[in-house]
Amino acid sequence: MDIDQARGPDVGASAMADPGVARRSAPTRKRRKSRTGLAFIAPFGALFLLVFVVPILYAAYLSLFQERLVGGTTFAGFANYGKLIQDPQFWDGVARVVRFTLIQVPIMLIFAMAVALALDSMRVHGTRFMRVTIFLPYAVPAIVSTLMWGFLLGIKYGLFGSLNDALGTDINPFAPGTTLISIGVMVTWAFTGFNMLIFYAALKAVPRQLYEAAAIDGANEFQIVRAIKLPALRGSLVVTIIFSIIGTFQMFNEPQILPSMVANSGVTTFYTPNLYAYHLAFTGSQQGYAAALALVMAAITIAVAYAVQIRGLRNATDQ
């Protein structure tokens, strides 16, 4: 993820090579390697430019123009950005995804960690079955998961309809006030297993002799979890938090699909920033404004991801 950590294998690789041979032939060899290295990286590099760099530059260029009914597209400087900062619909969406992130991400990661610890403890019957089953939702497309949960939680055809009929209650998971919670249930369902597997893999990497040593010293299971297992999860926790934030900040599929399934769910065209950008670009034909929104949202996401990473690393070095 991170440049410093990522540099690790590189150092390892050059240390493995015979230093004597490497020194002698270094200059000629390096030049030859430099050319083949560039040739090997060129296909990826060229497509990366086309898919990542040029679109962002082009969007930055477009964001400086405004579409008007009269006079067509005109250069507007930073007017789109100024308008965006004062746009209550944009901030409404941002506030919603931030609120969602603050609640859903901790719940999901705590579940993922708890399940990983439980499965790793080898005290659970059917460990393999559960591990695979909990991961399966990750393979389900957002459209299918929204359809299933939309029907399941919906009051028209779903279980809550049956529940309301049976108990005479009036619970609607897709009322404007509860839709976001229902989306949280869907997102947690889809991604807990993926995060669980990352934690599980990190736990599996802990040398088992450590547990034996701790057991000989008289540590119980909870002490082992606190002293050995939780610290071992720190690195993967930073990674999963970053990926989860990136995921929830760009929430789009669920709120885009839901309105066609349930009426009056409270999902507006600006429910999340990406949904707003989509509507601006494709139904409002305000491409310049949509481009500005996409860029600002990407910048916010990257800033938050980096802040989490820096904090995570600082805490790690404090230890």
Partner 1 sequence: MRPTSSRLHTVDNPKKSTTLTVMTGLFTVYCLLPLVWLVINATKSQADFVSSFGLAPGRGFALWDNIVDVFRYQDGIFSRWLLNTVIYVVVGATVSTFLAALGGYALATMDFRGKRTFLFVVLGSISVPGIALAIPQFLLFAQLGVTNTPWAILIPSFINPFGLYLMWVFTAEAVPSGLLDAAKIDGAGEFRTFLQIALPLLAPASVTVLLFSFVSIWNNYFLPLIMLKDPEWYPLTVGINQWNKLGSTAGNGALVQNLVITSALLTIVPLIIAFLSLQRYWRSGLALGAIKG
| Nearest approach, Cβ of residue 51 and partner 1 (Å) | 5
Identify residues 296-315 at the interface with partner 1 (CB under 8 A): 297-298, 301-302, 305-306
Q: Quick one: tokens of 209?
A: 């002799």
* Between 121 and 269, CB nearer to partner 1: 121
d(C-alpha 238, C-alpha 312), whole Å: 6
The pairing of strands 72-75 and 65-68 is antiparallel
Q: Give the nearest distance from C-beta 229 to partner 1 in angstroms.
A: 13
Q: Tell me which stretch binds partner 1 (CB under 8 A): 79-87, 88-96, 100-108, 195-203.
A: 195-203
Gap between the Cα atoms of 172 and 182, Å rounded? 10
Give the x-and-dash track for 262-301 against partner 1 (CB under 8 A). Answer: ------------x--xx--xx----x--xx--xx-xx--x
* Residue 110 binding partner 1, by CB under 8 A: no
User: By C-beta, is 145 or 172 nearer to partner 1?
Assistant: 145
Work out the number of other CB atoms within 10 angstroms of the CB of residue 128. 8
CB 275 within 8 A of CB 281: no
Q: How far is the CB of 53 from partner 1 (least distance, A)?
A: 8
Residue of 122, 167, 217, 218 interacting with partner 1 (CB under 8 A): 122
Cβ closer to partner 1: 127 or 268? Answer: 127
Q: Report d(CA 237, CA 239) in Å as an integer.
A: 5
Q: What is the CA radius of gyration of the chain?
A: 25
Q: Do 150 and 254 meet the contact criterion of CB atoms below 8 Å apart?
A: no
- From CA 98, how far away is CA 244, in angstroms rounded? 12
Map the footprint of partner 1 across residues 50-89, applying CB under 8 A: 50-56, 58-59, 62
| Nearest-approach distance from CB 86 to partner 1, in angstroms | 21
**115 burial type by CB count under 10 A (0-12 exposed, 13-18 middle, 19+ buried):** buried
Segment holding 157, helix H or strand E = none
Among 20, 27, 28, 44, which residue sits at the site for partner 1 (rule: CB under 8 A)?
Answer: 44
Sign of CA dihedral 115, 117, 120, 126: negative
How far is it, in rounded angstroms, from Cα 47 to Cα 84? 31
- d(CA 266, CA 278) in angstroms, rounded, equals 18
Q: Is 223 in the site for partner 1 (CB under 8 A)?
A: no
Site for partner 1 in 163-182 (CB under 8 A): none
Site for partner 1 in 21-40 (CB under 8 A): 30, 33-38, 40
User: Nearest approach, Cβ of 231 to partner 1 (angstroms)?
Assistant: 14
**Least distance in Å: CB of 170 to partner 1?**
18
Number of residues in contact with partner 1 under rule CB under 8 A: 118
User: Distance (Å, rounded) from C-alpha 307 to C-alpha 304?
Assistant: 5
**Touching partner 1, residues 226-255 (CB under 8 A):** 235-236, 239, 242, 246, 249-250, 252-253
Decide whether 70 or 122 has the Cβ nearer to partner 1.
122
**Contact call for residue 137 and partner 1 (CB under 8 A):** yes
Near partner 1 by CB under 8 A, which window of 64-72, 75-83, 136-144, 175-183? 136-144
* Partners of 68 in beta bridges: 72
What is the token pair recorded at 248?
Answer: 């929830």
Please report how close the Cβ of residue 281 comes to partner 1 at its closest, in angstroms.
6
